Each structure stands twice: as structure tokens, then as C-alpha cells.
Amino acid sequence: MNGILWILRTGAPWRDLPERYGKWQSVATRFYRWQKAGVWNQILEHLQAIADEQGKLDWEVHYVDGRVIRAH
């Protein structure tokens, strides 16, 4: 998980993943397998539900927009 988060945070290519996270191929495979299985959507929905229950989510302000893509 930390290797995946490192890639997402830095925007680096998979091949630049530091060795301490394991083989980059294994981490990339796990990421894409989880993507296909819908794991990331489930995590997002769960976190949104928790925040909504705690009153920390204003649906008029907070949303996820996939049209914004960071470019390097």
C-alpha cells in the first residue's frame, strides 16, 4: 500500500519506485488488480460515508472530478 501511495503522491513512473517498497512490477500489478476489482472505489465510498456521518462532508462543496489530471 505504501508503494502505491508513494507513486500516487509523487507522480513518478512505476520503475522509479524505491526498493524499500518491493519490486515495482509487484506493486504495479497489485494497483491495477485492485483498480479492476473496484477496491479504490470502495475505499473512497467508505471514507466518504465516515466523513458524512461525522458531519465533515458538505456535498455542495466536496466532490471528485476526474477531469483534472496532473501533467508533468
Q: Is residue 25 part of a domain?
A: yes
Q: Is residue 72 part of a domain?
A: no
Q: Is residue 69 part of a domain?
A: no
Q: 15-24, 29-38, 50-59, 62-71 — which is least confidently predicted?
A: 62-71
Mean pLDDT of 19-31: 97
The pTM score is: 0.71
- Angle (deg, nearest 10), helices 2-10 and 24-37: 90
In this predicted structure, what is the pLDDT of residue 58?
81
b/e map 4-34, b = 16+ CB within 10 Å: bebbeeeeeeeeebeeebeebeebbeebeeb
Q: Is residue 64 part of a domain?
A: no
Mean pLDDT of 51-56: 92
Give the chain's domain count: 1
CA–CA separation, 35 and 27 (whole Å): 12
In this predicted structure, what is the pLDDT of residue 61?
74
Q: How high does pLDDT run on average in the chain?
A: 89
Q: Is residue 60 part of a domain?
A: no
Range of the domain at 18: 2-53
pLDDT above 70 (res 67): no
Radius of gyration of the chain (CA): 15
